[in-house]
Amino acid sequence: MKFFKQRPNFKFMSKRNLAFIASAVLIALSIVSLTTRGLNFGLDFTGGTLIEVKFPDAADIEQVRDNLREAGLDDAVVQTFGAASDIVVRIPPRSEEESDAEISTLVLAALQQGVEGEVEMLRVEFVGPQVGEELAEQGLLAMVYALIGIFLYVMMRFQWRFSAGAVAALVHDVIITMGIISALHVQFDLTVVAALLAVIGYSLNDTIVVFDRIRENFPRMLKSAPIEVIDRSLNETLARTIMTGVTTLLVLVALFIFGGEIIHAFAFTLIVGIIIGTYSSIYVASAALLQLGVSKHDLMQIEKEGVGVDSLP
């Protein structure tokens, strides 16, 4: 069953100037938020102690937080991990005089208050500030290397204007997604870095599908203007774009609601990134082609993939 009974005929590119303005405003607000509020770095980047414990029954999160505050651990972060009885406590760096053993003993004593049965400590991990700085640097480099690799890949597969449009869309997605994370004070840890890289991959895949159709339609529509070719290509891939985005969001929303507090930041980042990425594949990547002056002459020499394979011995 087709999503659309007839091919839609939306004039996407007629609204590209409004889309550019909206994107520019969102990017500016994101940069302001990132420079003023910054990111709410988790223990992966700031360093600190992570303690995982198991309660005999379902834990009362608010009571756990109250007990930790009474023990002088006001800055502790408490999250469920899997089952309702499994709790993760994250403690930011404290006095150098306190050892990991002393901190874990203090936390365990605080969690034991008012609980019938024994609270079992499953693991204790410590991340030093220097390690956190290295992880932050490596996470940033991973995104930069990914963008450089994508630029080269798209340039070899299509043409430099397509490459510039794809990278512009990906940078747009990352900046706005990080700006929303900053504005909402979502905890930024390694899972969020992984989510941002996944957003880059998803958005690129969506963009490549559109670019493939644009490349195919330019030789077919020799008498049409570039804006008409791009609009037709977007309409032809619209059903696929909507179905892919909606089904992916359904999974992520379920993960956000039922997956536990510990992966909320990961799922939230993906939800925001996929919405922004779907928008950018239409109104940033494709619109950038028009702004860069793409024409049929840029693609006339490109052969369709697989041509000539049957003639090989």
**pLDDT for res 307:** 46
What DSSP designation does 98 have?
S
CB 91 within 8 A of CB 107: yes
Per-residue pLDDT of the chain (313 residues; tens, 9 = 90+): 455 566 777 888 888 899 999 999 999 999 999 999 888 887 777 777 788 888 888 777 888 888 888 777 777 778 777 677 788 888 877 665 566 667 777 778 888 777 777 778 788 777 766 666 677 777 778 878 888 887 787 777 777 788 888 888 989 999 999 999 999 988 888 888 889 989 988 988 888 888 888 888 878 877 778 888 888 989 988 888 899 999 999 999 998 988 777 788 899 999 999 999 999 988 998 888 888 777 666 565 544 445 444 444 4
Residue 311 phi, psi (nearest 5): -85, -5
Q: How far apart are CA 73 and CA 232, in angstroms?
A: 59
Q: What is the distance between the alpha carbons of residues 209 and 222, in angstroms, rounded to a whole number?
A: 21
Q: Which CATH architecture has domain 12-40+131-298?
A: Up-down Bundle (1.20)
Tell me if 62 sits within 8 A of 80, measured CB to CB.
Answer: no
Fold topology of 48-127:
Alpha-Beta Plaits (3.30.70)
Query: What pLDDT does 223 receive?
Result: 78
- Report domain extents, the chain: 12-40+131-298, 48-127
Side-chain-side CA neighbours of 142 within 13 Å: the count stands at 16
Query: Which contacts (CB < 8 Å, 24+ apart) does range 121-124 have?
Result: 121/51, 121/52, 121/53, 122/52, 122/53, 122/54, 122/86, 123/50, 123/51, 123/52, 124/49, 124/50, 124/51, 124/52, 124/100
Alpha helices per DSSP H over 158-237: 160-183, 190-220, 226-236
Structure tokens at 232: 């037709």
Residue 309 is predicted with a pLDDT of: 43
Q: Which two tokens stand for residue 122?
A: 């499953």
